[in-house]
Every structure is written in C-alpha cells, then in structure tokens.
Structure 1
Amino acid sequence: MKRLLSRSRQLRRLSSSAAAVASPSPSPFPSSGPNAMVYDHLAESVKSKLGRLENPDPRFLTHNSPHPTLADHTSILTAPATKITTLPNGLRVATESQLASRTATVGVWIDAGSRFESEETNGTAHFLEHMIFKGTERRSARQLEEEIENMGGHLNAYTSREQTTYFAKVMDSHVNKALDILSDILQNSTFEESRINRERDVILREMEEVEGQTEEVIFDHLHATAFQYTPLGRTILGPAENIKTITKSHLQNYIATHYTAPRMVIAASGAVKHEEIVEQVKKYFTKLSTDPTSAAQLVAKETATFTGSEVRMIDDDIPLAQFSVAFNGVSYTDPDSIALMVMQSMLGSWNKHSGGGKHMGSELAQRVGINEIAESMMAFNTNYKDTGLFGVYAVAKPDCLDDLAWAIMHEISKLCYRVSEADVTRACNQLKSSLLLHVDGTSPVAEDIGRQLLTYGRRIPFAEFFARIDAVDANTVKRVANRIIYDRDVAIAAMGPVKKLPDYNWFRRRTYWNRY
C-alpha cells in the first residue's frame, strides 16, 4: 500500500510540473531501478501532449493554417440512395426518400427549352410554361388554383435554354394528387384562344421587367454574341413580334415534338416511397408520345459554334457600367467540367456590401476589394449539352473599368501558368460545401435528381462527385486553363458608360501576355 501511495504522489507531482519534464535539469525521478521505465514513459507522454498543444495538427485548425487540407465528407456516404425506374414508354421515375420529412416535392423535368425552337417560333417554350396552368379538359384555371391552394401546396415552373420544369411542393398526404395535377396539365391542356391572347400581354410585361434586370440582359447579349446565328444565342422569352404571333398550333406542336416520354423525368423527394410513385405515374401518365428522338440528336443538327466577338451598348445616363467576358467552355459531360467548376470557385465572387477583401481566398476578390475597383464581380461557369461559357461578370464605376479589366484578365490568364496547391484545395472545399448547401430541402433535391438524369443519364452520388473534385490539383487547373483560356478568343458583352472599357483586341492579347 505504501508503494502504491508513493507512486500516486509521484504521478500527481509529474502532472503538476510539466515544466520540469520539459526542462533540461536533472529529473526528480530515479534514472535507474525497477520504476525507471515507467517514469520515462510518462515523461515522454507528457512531452508529446505539450508538443501537440504548441504545434496543433493543421487538419483540425484549417482556418489557422496557410496550407488547407481537403475537407472530410465521409458522412455523405450515408445519404439516401436515389432509386430509378424506366417505364416501357421510356419515361424515367426517380425518387429519394426522406421518410422523416412531412413534405415532398414532385415534378416533371423535360429535356426541352428555347434551344429547340426555330427563329420563327422562338419564345414558344416559355409561352407554353405560362399556358400550361390555364385550364385542362378536366379542370378550369380557377379549379386548378383552388385545388392547389386548398391543399396548401405550391405549384411552379421555369424554362431555361435546354430544360423545362413543372413541380409541386405539398404535404406528404397530397403527393398522389400533385401527380394527378401535373399529369393533367401536361397531357390535357386546352389552350383556349381567349387565354392565349390574354397571356400575350402578361408575357410582354414580363419582358419589360426582365429588361430592367441588367444582369439578365447582359447574359442574354453575351449568348447572342458568343453563339451567333445558332439557337443557343436566342433569348428564352423570344422577341416581342413572336410573342404577338404565337398560336395554339405552335403550342400543341411543341408539346407533340418535345414533351415525349424518353425526354422526361418524374423526380420526387421527401416523404415519398419509390414503388408508390412508380405505380401512380403508370396510372396518370398514359398519353405521352414515345418518339425516340433525343435532345442530343436535335442538338447535333445545329451545333452551337463559339464566335470571338463583342457587343457594347453605350449609355452614359446609367451611373454604373457592367460587362462580362467569357471563353468557350465545355459541356456537362466533358471530363474537364469539374476542373472548370473548381476554377470558378478559385476566381470567386465579391460584393462591396458583403465586406471582405484582403483576407478572402480568391486573389481576384482580394485585388478588387483592396483597390475598390468594382461594385461587385462574380465568376461563372455555364454548361450546355455540347458547349459552355466560362468567365467573369462585373459591375463598376466608369473610371474603374481599366483597372478592373486588367485585374480580371490578369487573374484569369494566371490560371494557365501559376497555381498553388493551397488555392486549389481551398477552392475544392468551397465547391463541395456549396454543392451540399444547394441540396438543402426537398425541392433542391428533386431538382438535382431531374437535372442530373437529363444531363448525365444518372444521378451521380456525392461521394463520386467529391472524389472527382478532390482529384483536381494545380497541374489539372493549369492544363485545363491552357485548353480553355490561353490564346483563345473571348466574347464580351458590356452595357452602360463603357467608353473606358479596353477594346476587344486588348482583352484578346491579355489571354497570353501575362505569361511573359
């Protein structure tokens, strides 16, 4: 017992005198004898703990480390699986069950948009989105609205250049009714002439509102100049003269041609069971065309060719200038699409109202914030079936345009020859976090399922997506930048007091001058 008490006192003395352990002075404990090995082991253990406190592992203190490490997202491996069933007519049904949820989102994602229109029918897809809610053979427009309102649901739709979506968010007990409504409006809409004429004015007013959203206008002009004389260069809303002449036959022909079962995905997320959704889809979606023509086949007939060019709309009455500069990007399925997403994250975004500057990860944001040469800026990476746009959009005062253009082109072209692993790692972590934040809720998850099945043909698990992101390193970024940016044509769209914005040839030269 005395021996045990003696050792206990010695251990307390050891733990309360860590400085003595770390000191080069003689140890108070015996250096020989039966207990020497025990004391040496304890002393080394304490030294090791002190060393870890003084020099912590940077993986656990990434914010204090100049060399960030890849974030661990092991938990995503336990995410719910996406179940997919393809019906005999080619219609795909995909669900992700979250049975703990009390709500669900169910929708129809269609591989059709403004890109599949002719010059004469441009605007039909968006017009159809408006008319789809204006009454069916079974329900009037009022009955549709009341039915959705009475069950506390939200019915919505949107049209892009390559996709059209109709979806409803409802309580778990109303999923079947939502599917019934979606199938009804997509298969049995009546398109009354009086409703069509009334909707023309609504869309024309919407067009006026969009023209007031300068960012939307800039990107429409950017597409128009980058993809000249191709369907991808046209606007989603279409020109006013087309809106005034679109008829019932245009809408019906568009549905018959493009709203086909093989080009549609029924996606559901939340309080849903896959087998029940499949059975309900079989019951309701019985009138769809089975035309096997795919969107990719239609795109191949009119490939979007990138043209190095610019469009400038000078208006000195506007206080701020805005412009976007873009390179020919890549398609969704291109092997380098992930690297471009990382490069977009590296360039980042900045807004003077959100603060930040010299401590931001993006060197472009640092330059813009420290020198106060812009009101806002953001990098973008837009993908389509066969091409894309990669670049930067910025808003600034007229006197700052020259410095801002230099900063943007300097940082973009620098991706070709000087990239640090730390910057790439930081961008990869930011990209993974933004992807996870994007799918927070049943509606974003359903949208992610529908969009990926249309673009990739499958739902890519986050574990695979993140593995692809983690595979991007500094050499990958430089290789892709040399493919996309170095000595390549650019497309520029500018609006407002842009007289001091450097000319096109200056931007073109900056794609390779920084190397020297």
Structure 2
Amino acid sequence: MKGIRGISQLSTRLYAAQAARQAKVEHVQFQPQEVQVSERVCLSPSTEMVVCDHQNRTRLRKPQAQTPLPGAAHSCQGVHVTKLPSGLVIASLENYSPASKIGVPGCRYETHNNLGVTHILRLASNLTTKGASAFKICRGVEAVGGHLNVTSSRENMVYSVDCLRDDIDTVMEFLINVTTAQEFRPWEVSELTAHVKRERGDAASSAHIGVVERLHEAAYKNALSNSLYCPDYMVGNVQSEHLHQFVQNNFTSARMALVGLGVDHDVLTQVGEQFLNVRSGAGTSGAQAQYRGGELRHQTGSSIVHSAVVGESVAVGSGDALAFSVLQHVLGAGPQIKRGSNTTNKLVQGINKATSEPFEASAFNTSYSDSGLFGVYTISQAASAGDVIRAAVAQVKAVANGEVTAADLTRAKTQLKSQQLMSLETSEGFLEALGSQALAGGAYQSPDAVAKDIDNVSLTDVANAAKMFVSGKKTMASSGNLVATPFIDEL
C-alpha cells in the first residue's frame, strides 16, 4: 500500500488502501443528498476541514482552485451537508478562510487489552506514514506556515490542519496520510514513551483533571470510564500491533466526517469520494456506556479540596439535553465576565450562607452520545469542604422543589444563548460545532434554531432535570485533604 505523495497525482491513481486492494471500482451515477441551511455565516479569512466518517466511491477528477479570480466578489455560502453512500458525512462552509480537521473514534472504544492506545495514537500523529516520513510531514507543514494538531476526547479524536487556502492541496496530502496511511514503526512508537510519561506527570499535577478522570471511572462500568491518559501499567507496553488493530477496527468511513471551513463543498466532496474510502463499513461495534455510580477519593496533603458530585443525565441531542444546559446556568456555570463576582449564581448565593471561607462552585454538565453527567463541582478549603458540598447539593434540591423564578429562567436562557453564539465567533468553535453535529446526526442546526429551542425550555423542564439529579444514583470524586469531606452516602 502506497501513501499519498501529492494531491495532483491522485487523479491518476487511487488513494493508499485502494491501490493495495487493487479492487475493481464500479463507477456509478450518484446524486448525493444535500442539506442546505439558510444560515449565512462569514468568519475571518481561513480554511478548516474535519473528517469524521464514511466513504466508498471514486470519481477521478482533480479539485479546482478555490480562490476567486482577482476582483471577483466573495459571496458567502451557506452550510452544506452531504452524506455519501458509504456513510461518510461531508459538511462545509465556504467563507474564504484556511484550516482542516478530521474526527475519528476516541478512547471509549478501547478494550481492557489496549487501554491507553488513543493516548499513544494522539502522540503518534506525526510519525512516518506510507506516503511521507516524519521529517517530511514536519518540514512540509512548516514550509507552508501550517499547523498540524491532534486533540482527543472520550468520544473522538480530531486531526486538524490549518493553512493558507492556496496551500490546501499540500496540507491535505499530509492530513490524509496521518489519518489513513499510518505505519507505526516499532522504533518510532517506542520513542513516544517519554512523552507519555511527561503528559501523565502534567495531568497528575492538576487536581481538576484528576477529579474529572476519577469521576468518569467511578460513574461508568465501561466505555466512558476509560481514561484519556495511558494507565501506568500500560506505559511502554502499547505496541505497533495495538495501534494498527485499533485504527483498522475504528477508523472506518462509518465513524468519520469530513468538515471544511473555507473550502468549496464540491471540492471537499471530491476529496472524500476519492481519498477517504480506505476502510468501509461501520467497524467494530462499541459498547453502550453503563452508568453505575460510586465514589473515588484521592487523599493528598493539599489544603484545597476539589470535589464533584454528579448523577446520570441525558445523551447529547436528546429532548432534555437543553433543559440540563439551562439548569446549569440557573445554578451557575462560572463567571460570565472576567473577574466577575458571580452574585447571580445560585450556588454561590447558597454557599455564602453556609461558610465564610473562600470557595468556588459551578454546575457540572457534560453529555455524550449515549449518556451524560450532571451535578456540582466545588473547590474549597479542607476544613469547610463539607459545608460547601452540602450547600451546593441543597441548591439543586431547591430548584427541584420549584424555587426558581421567571427572572432566573430568563437570565439562564440568555446566558446559554450568548455562550452558544460566542462559541461560534471563532473558526475553531464553529468548526467544532459543525463537525460534532455532522457526525452525530448528519445535519446542521443553525444558531437561530438552537436559540428557539432554548426559548422553549420551561420552568417545569428545568425542575424535572433537577429532580433527575436528586432522585438518581450519585457519583462522587474528591481530591485533597479529605478529613472534613463527606462520603457520598452522607450527603
């Protein structure tokens, strides 16, 4: 199997895995279903792409230049979403800007035999591929002033390349290679051990990261309980075979989406059709996350206690997801302005009555494709940790009992809508929103539509969300000097 050495060559030979298989490609007449959203968004000049799932056909036609002729008007296009027969979702917004991203499965798809493989995979993004050496990838991206970044979450990994739009064919060569033509040479993989140890050390020094990781470990039996970091006993034991097997089973067209910002949709569709059909099918089925509840405590000598108490909420995209988001802002989602006092934060108001010691508190809300967690996160002095945690939980109970005014609800909705809109002001934020929606549902919901859905959330919806937390099985994670920190059964 040969890797990609240039987009210009791909009109005469198929991409990596196709050449290896030497399979007959049947050219069929296909009209992709396309969804156009009336939303018109124009961001600052740059280009972005995201790959997230399916592809299976090939039309051999070289992409045309994207830059308009001198003097031509730059008409801003709407968001386009297309789903190819293989399942690969392609979404784009042509706003005449440069950057690219690819999203693939995350650590929830790890098994007990390969825990930590996604951590190693993230660090291995710039290693030698079948079409380019590690040196060529580094110098090639650098030569055009581009950036290659890889981020990971429990749901997916995102490979992104940012560049000037005139160099999009160059960076796409490297982007395709690092996501579909990896080699994982054993001696290169072994050199990543030092990086893994350093990142584990950095994570261990952060109390917040530790609490969130333990929270997921205690909350779930499988899938979402997997850590973002390689466990200690697997450091140095994740081999090339583990990486190849994980990529083969999970980096399939059914689990990918190609999302572009600042790229013509037709050009992006051709790229998906020609180059991203290496692994068709849905891949190995992932396990459904099973919530169990529980508690993990990490005793340290720190006088500051970080603690989170949560219950299971709902999956992203479900009917009640927005109710939990509004509830988060009713309770308090952190300062809305720099150095804000949070005087309207219900958690802060309630905890101020319970202690005079310094503290910080906010609602914790995260959603995944099949589950979610909602609760409170507190930071306090060790001696007052019990008072702070109990007061925070009591505020959620108060909301469940209907102690929320119409003014509280209106303010929370306004804060949530402003947060949603401001997150789309940057190309990174817009690309993340477009990619996650395309991957989850194969469509894009405009900001106006999201705002209308937020407005439809009622006081009853918010109270029901709070009741779900109050009546549900709890999970708790704490770190610090826990001498005065209550156990979960004491709350």
TM-score bracket relative to the smaller structure: 0.7 to 0.9
- The corresponding residue for 1:336 is 320
Q: How many angstroms apart in 2 are the aligned matches of 1:402 and 1:186? A: 48
SS in 1 for 2:126: coil
- The corresponding residue for 2:389 is 405
Q: Does 1:457 align with 2:448?
A: no
- The corresponding residue for 2:302 is 318
Q: Does 1:275 align with 2:266?
A: yes
Q: Does 1:480 align with 2:465?
A: yes
- The corresponding residue for 1:95 is 92
- The corresponding residue for 2:110 is 117
The within-5 A match list for 1:37-436 is: 78-79=40-41, 81-99=78-96, 103-110=97-104, 112-227=105-220, 229-270=221-262, 272-286=263-277, 288-293=278-283, 298-299=285-286, 302-315=287-300, 317-350=301-334, 355-357=339-341, 360-368=343-351, 372-417=356-401, 418-436=403-421
Q: In the alignment, is the contact (CA less than 8 A) between 1:123 and 1:242 conserved in 2?
A: yes
Q: In the alignment, is the contact (CA less than 8 A) between 1:374 and 1:394 conserved in 2?
A: no
**Higher helix residue share:** 1
SS in 2 for 1:89: coil
- C-alpha spacing 1:504/1:331, structure 2 compared with 1 (3 Å): same
Q: How many angstroms apart in 1 are the aligned matches of 2:122 and 2:153? A: 11
Q: Structure 1 vs Structure 2: percent identity of aligned residues?
A: 23
Q: Which moved more, 1:363-372 or 1:148-157?
A: 363-372
Shift of 1:169: 1.3
Show structure 1 runs of 5+ residues with no match: 1-75, 508-516
Q: How many angstroms apart in 2 are the aligned matches of 1:411 and 1:119? A: 39
Q: How many angstroms apart in 2 are the aligned matches of 1:257 and 1:277? A: 25
- C-alpha spacing 1:166/1:78, structure 2 compared with 1 (3 Å): closer
Shift of 1:140: 1.2
- Deviation string 1:447-505 (CA, Å, 9 cap, x unpaired) is 211111222332121121111100012121112222x1233221110111121122322
Q: In the alignment, is the contact (CA less than 8 A) between 2:306 and 2:380 conserved in 1?
A: yes
- Deviation string 1:220-251 (CA, Å, 9 cap, x unpaired) is 11111111x31221212231222321111111
- C-alpha spacing 1:354/1:506, structure 2 compared with 1 (3 Å): farther
Q: In the alignment, is the contact (CA less than 8 A) between 1:122 and 1:236 conserved in 2?
A: no
Q: How many angstroms apart in 2 are the aligned matches of 1:234 and 1:78? A: 39
User: Which structure's CA Rg is the greater one?
Assistant: 1
Q: How many angstroms apart in 1 are the aligned matches of 2:376 and 2:470? A: 16
Q: In the alignment, is the contact (CA less than 8 A) between 2:350 and 2:392 conserved in 1?
A: no
Q: In the alignment, is the contact (CA less than 8 A) between 2:327 and 2:465 conserved in 1?
A: no
Q: In the alignment, is the contact (CA less than 8 A) between 1:169 and 1:443 conserved in 2?
A: no
Q: How many angstroms apart in 1 are the aligned matches of 2:85 and 2:473? A: 46
- The corresponding residue for 1:500 is 484
Q: How many angstroms apart in 2 are the aligned matches of 1:203 and 1:384? A: 26
Q: Report the residue type matching 1:139 in the other structure.
A: A
- Deviation string 1:84-132 (CA, Å, 9 cap, x unpaired) is 2223332221101213xxx32211112x111111112111122112112
- Deviation string 1:341-397 (CA, Å, 9 cap, x unpaired) is 11111111447x96444x732221234467554432221211112111101111111
- Deviation string 1:401-456 (CA, Å, 9 cap, x unpaired) is 12212220111111211221111111111001111111222222222111112223
- Deviation string 1:12-42 (CA, Å, 9 cap, x unpaired) is xxxxxxxxxxxxxxxxxxxxxxxxxxxxxxx
After superposition, the CA RMSD in angstroms is: 2.1
SS in 1 for 2:316: coil
Shift of 1:203: 0.9
Q: In the alignment, is the contact (CA less than 8 A) between 1:361 and 1:426 conserved in 2?
A: no
TM-score if structure 1 supplies the norm length? 0.77
Q: How many angstroms apart in 2 are the aligned matches of 1:233 and 1:340? A: 22
SS in 2 for 1:499: helix
Q: How many angstroms apart in 2 are the aligned matches of 1:485 and 1:157? A: 34
Q: How many angstroms apart in 1 are the aligned matches of 2:274 and 2:344? A: 52
Q: In the alignment, is the contact (CA less than 8 A) between 2:294 and 2:474 conserved in 1?
A: yes
Q: How many angstroms apart in 2 are the aligned matches of 1:87 and 1:456? A: 14
Q: How many angstroms apart in 1 are the aligned matches of 2:272 and 2:293? A: 46
SS in 1 for 2:195: helix
Q: In the alignment, is the contact (CA less than 8 A) between 2:89 and 2:442 conserved in 1?
A: no
Shift of 1:184: 1.2
Q: How many angstroms apart in 1 are the aligned matches of 2:334 and 2:451? A: 25
Shift of 1:158: 1.2
SS in 2 for 1:486: helix
Q: Report the residue type matching 2:363 in the other structure.
A: A
Q: In the alignment, is the contact (CA less than 8 A) between 2:81 and 2:438 conserved in 1?
A: no
SS in 1 for 2:361: strand
Q: Report the residue type matching 1:408 in the other structure.
A: A
Q: In the alignment, is the contact (CA less than 8 A) between 2:132 and 2:174 conserved in 1?
A: no
Q: In the alignment, is the contact (CA less than 8 A) between 2:129 and 2:181 conserved in 1?
A: yes
Shift of 1:307: 2.2
Q: In the alignment, is the contact (CA less than 8 A) between 2:119 and 2:229 conserved in 1?
A: yes
Q: Report the residue type matching 1:163 in the other structure.
A: N
Q: How many angstroms apart in 1 are the aligned matches of 2:127 and 2:243? A: 13
Q: Report the residue type matching 2:347 in the other structure.
A: L
Q: In the alignment, is the contact (CA less than 8 A) between 2:251 and 2:283 conserved in 1?
A: no
Q: How many angstroms apart in 1 are the aligned matches of 2:470 and 2:430? A: 37
Q: How many angstroms apart in 1 are the aligned matches of 2:442 and 2:84? A: 15
Shift of 1:318: 1.0
Q: In the alignment, is the contact (CA less than 8 A) between 2:323 and 2:462 conserved in 1?
A: yes
Q: How many angstroms apart in 2 are the aligned matches of 1:492 and 1:129? A: 29
